[in-house]
Protein backbone atom coordinates (compact mmCIF):
# COMPACT_ATOMS: atom_id res chain seq x y z
CA UNK A 1 0.00 0.00 0.00
CA UNK A 2 1.41 3.36 -1.05
CA UNK A 3 0.10 6.44 0.81
CA UNK A 4 1.14 9.96 -0.22
CA UNK A 5 -0.10 13.38 0.79
CA UNK A 6 -1.76 15.51 -1.88
CA UNK A 7 -1.09 19.20 -2.59
CA UNK A 8 -3.77 19.95 0.01
CA UNK A 9 -2.30 19.10 3.43
CA UNK A 10 -4.54 16.71 5.32
CA UNK A 11 -5.54 14.79 2.19
CA UNK A 12 -3.86 11.59 1.06
CA UNK A 13 -4.18 9.23 -1.89
CA UNK A 14 -3.92 5.54 -1.07
CA UNK A 15 -2.83 3.16 -3.84
CA UNK A 16 -3.28 -0.46 -2.78
CA UNK A 17 -1.42 -3.46 -4.05
CA UNK A 18 -3.56 -5.78 -6.13
CA UNK A 19 -3.13 -9.53 -6.04
CA UNK A 20 -4.37 -11.13 -9.24
CA UNK A 21 -4.71 -14.74 -10.31
CA UNK A 22 -7.05 -16.80 -12.47
CA UNK A 23 -9.92 -16.15 -10.03
CA UNK A 24 -9.73 -12.36 -10.25
CA UNK A 25 -8.17 -9.86 -7.87
CA UNK A 26 -7.81 -9.17 -4.16
CA UNK A 27 -7.28 -5.62 -2.90
CA UNK A 28 -6.58 -4.55 0.67
CA UNK A 29 -8.02 -1.03 0.45
CA UNK A 30 -7.62 0.07 4.08
CA UNK A 31 -5.32 -1.05 6.88
CA UNK A 32 -5.45 0.98 10.10
CA UNK A 33 -1.80 0.43 11.07
CA UNK A 34 -0.47 1.56 7.67
CA UNK A 35 -2.90 4.45 7.53
CA UNK A 36 -1.89 5.73 10.99
CA UNK A 37 1.81 5.32 10.22
CA UNK A 38 1.51 7.40 7.02
CA UNK A 39 -0.92 10.07 8.22
CA UNK A 40 -0.06 10.30 11.91
CA UNK A 41 -3.70 9.92 12.94
CA UNK A 42 -6.30 7.22 13.46
CA UNK A 43 -9.49 6.95 11.48
CA UNK A 44 -12.65 6.32 13.46
CA UNK A 45 -15.47 4.89 11.36
CA UNK A 46 -19.01 6.09 12.20
CA UNK A 47 -20.95 5.77 8.92
CA UNK A 48 -20.55 4.17 5.49
CA UNK A 49 -22.26 5.63 2.39
CA UNK A 50 -22.46 4.38 -1.18
CA UNK A 51 -23.57 6.32 -4.24
CA UNK A 52 -24.06 5.25 -7.85
CA UNK A 53 -23.84 7.92 -10.55
CA UNK A 54 -24.41 8.35 -14.26
CA UNK A 55 -21.67 9.89 -16.39
CA UNK A 56 -21.48 13.65 -15.76
CA UNK A 57 -22.98 13.59 -12.27
CA UNK A 58 -21.10 16.12 -10.15
CA UNK A 59 -21.58 15.84 -6.39
CA UNK A 60 -20.18 18.65 -4.28
CA UNK A 61 -18.25 20.59 -3.17
CA UNK A 62 -19.48 19.38 0.23
CA UNK A 63 -17.98 19.75 3.67
CA UNK A 64 -18.99 19.57 7.31
CA UNK A 65 -18.69 22.57 9.59
CA UNK A 66 -15.47 22.23 11.61
CA UNK A 67 -15.77 21.60 14.46
CA UNK A 68 -16.94 18.91 14.56
CA UNK A 69 -15.83 18.22 10.97
CA UNK A 70 -16.06 14.96 9.11
CA UNK A 71 -13.13 13.00 7.72
CA UNK A 72 -13.82 10.74 4.72
CA UNK A 73 -12.13 7.76 3.12
CA UNK A 74 -13.45 7.53 -0.45
CA UNK A 75 -13.09 4.52 -2.77
CA UNK A 76 -14.45 3.87 -6.27
CA UNK A 77 -15.61 0.26 -6.52
CA UNK A 78 -16.98 0.48 -10.07
CA UNK A 79 -16.40 2.86 -12.97
CA UNK A 80 -14.43 6.08 -12.61
CA UNK A 81 -14.58 9.43 -10.81
CA UNK A 82 -12.48 12.53 -10.67
CA UNK A 83 -12.17 13.13 -6.93
CA UNK A 84 -11.47 16.75 -5.91
CA UNK A 85 -10.32 17.92 -2.48
CA UNK A 86 -10.45 21.64 -1.60
CA UNK A 87 -8.88 23.32 1.44
CA UNK A 88 -11.74 25.22 3.10
CA UNK A 89 -10.00 25.77 6.45
CA UNK A 90 -9.90 29.53 7.13
CA UNK A 91 -6.39 30.51 8.22
CA UNK A 92 -4.78 27.52 6.47
CA UNK A 93 -1.72 28.46 4.39
CA UNK A 94 -3.27 26.44 1.54
CA UNK A 95 -6.78 27.89 1.91
CA UNK A 96 -8.54 27.67 -1.46
CA UNK A 97 -6.05 25.20 -2.95
CA UNK A 98 -7.48 22.10 -4.60
CA UNK A 99 -6.07 18.83 -5.87
CA UNK A 100 -7.62 15.94 -7.76
CA UNK A 101 -7.16 12.20 -8.14
CA UNK A 102 -8.63 9.74 -10.60
CA UNK A 103 -10.43 7.03 -8.64
CA UNK A 104 -11.41 4.01 -10.71
CA UNK A 105 -11.91 0.27 -10.77
CA UNK A 106 -8.51 -0.25 -12.41
CA UNK A 107 -5.97 1.24 -9.97
CA UNK A 108 -8.46 1.07 -7.07
CA UNK A 109 -7.01 4.14 -5.32
CA UNK A 110 -8.74 5.77 -2.36
CA UNK A 111 -8.63 9.33 -1.08
CA UNK A 112 -8.64 10.30 2.58
CA UNK A 113 -9.59 13.85 3.49
CA UNK A 114 -9.35 15.36 6.94
CA UNK A 115 -11.94 17.45 8.73
CA UNK A 116 -12.36 20.93 7.25
CA UNK A 117 -11.63 19.92 3.67
CA UNK A 118 -14.21 20.16 0.91
CA UNK A 119 -14.96 17.26 -1.39
CA UNK A 120 -16.49 16.73 -4.81
CA UNK A 121 -16.68 13.84 -7.25
CA UNK A 122 -17.44 13.85 -10.96
CA UNK A 123 -18.60 10.55 -12.48
CA UNK A 124 -16.72 9.76 -15.67
CA UNK A 125 -18.95 6.88 -16.79
CA UNK A 126 -22.41 5.46 -16.18
CA UNK A 127 -23.01 3.34 -13.09
CA UNK A 128 -19.84 4.57 -11.37
CA UNK A 129 -20.02 3.59 -7.72
CA UNK A 130 -18.21 5.12 -4.78
CA UNK A 131 -18.15 4.31 -1.07
CA UNK A 132 -17.45 6.85 1.66
CA UNK A 133 -16.23 5.79 5.08
CA UNK A 134 -17.08 8.70 7.39
CA UNK A 135 -15.77 9.72 10.81
CA UNK A 136 -19.04 11.44 11.75
CA UNK A 137 -22.63 10.43 11.14
CA UNK A 138 -24.49 12.70 8.73
CA UNK A 139 -25.70 15.73 10.68
CA UNK A 140 -27.71 18.12 8.47
CA UNK A 141 -27.11 21.17 10.65
CA UNK A 142 -23.33 20.89 10.03
CA UNK A 143 -23.66 20.22 6.28
CA UNK A 144 -22.17 22.94 4.04
CA UNK A 145 -21.62 23.43 0.30
CA UNK A 146 -19.53 25.50 -2.09
CA UNK A 147 -20.21 26.03 -5.80
CA UNK A 148 -18.10 23.52 -7.74
CA UNK A 149 -17.81 26.01 -10.62
CA UNK A 150 -16.66 28.94 -8.48
CA UNK A 151 -14.28 31.03 -10.61
CA UNK A 152 -11.98 31.77 -7.66
CA UNK A 153 -11.28 28.06 -7.17
CA UNK A 154 -11.00 27.47 -10.94
CA UNK A 155 -11.24 23.69 -10.70
CA UNK A 156 -10.31 22.05 -13.98
CA UNK A 157 -13.32 19.77 -14.49
CA UNK A 158 -13.01 17.26 -17.35
CA UNK A 159 -15.35 17.74 -20.28
CA UNK A 160 -15.12 14.16 -21.58
CA UNK A 161 -15.78 10.85 -19.85
CA UNK A 162 -13.57 7.80 -19.57
CA UNK A 163 -14.89 6.59 -22.96
CA UNK A 164 -14.03 9.92 -24.63
CA UNK A 165 -17.68 11.00 -24.96
CA UNK A 166 -18.57 14.58 -23.97
CA UNK A 167 -19.86 14.99 -20.41
CA UNK A 168 -23.01 16.91 -19.57
CA UNK A 169 -22.77 18.00 -15.95
CA UNK A 170 -25.68 16.96 -13.75
CA UNK A 171 -25.97 18.49 -10.26
CA UNK A 172 -28.55 18.33 -7.53
CA UNK A 173 -30.73 21.42 -6.98
CA UNK A 174 -28.84 21.99 -3.71
CA UNK A 175 -25.45 21.90 -5.43
CA UNK A 176 -26.67 24.20 -8.22
CA UNK A 177 -27.42 26.99 -5.72
CA UNK A 178 -24.38 26.39 -3.48
CA UNK A 179 -22.73 29.60 -2.29
CA UNK A 180 -19.44 30.86 -3.70
CA UNK A 181 -16.07 30.11 -2.13
CA UNK A 182 -15.97 33.65 -0.67
CA UNK A 183 -18.91 32.69 1.59
CA UNK A 184 -16.83 30.09 3.47
CA UNK A 185 -16.05 31.32 6.98
Instruction: Mark whether 63 is an active-site residue.
Output: no
Torsion-angle region of residue 10: left (phi > 0), alpha (psi -120 to 50) or beta? left
User: Which position among 73, 95, 119, 132 bears the catalytic label?
Assistant: 132
Under a CB-based contact definition with an 8 Å cutoff, are residues 127 and 162 in contact? no
User: Which position among 62, 63, 73, 119 bears the catalytic label?
Assistant: 62
Instruction: Mark whether 119 is an active-site residue.
Output: no
- For residue 5, give the nearest of 79, 97, 133 by alpha carbon: 97
Residues that are catalytic: 62, 132
Amino acid sequence: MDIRELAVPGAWVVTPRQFRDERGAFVESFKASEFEKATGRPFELCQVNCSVSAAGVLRGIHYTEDPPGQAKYVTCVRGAFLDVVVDLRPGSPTYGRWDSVLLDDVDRRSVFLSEGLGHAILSLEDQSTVTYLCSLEYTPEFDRDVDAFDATLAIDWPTVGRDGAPLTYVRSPKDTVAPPFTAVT
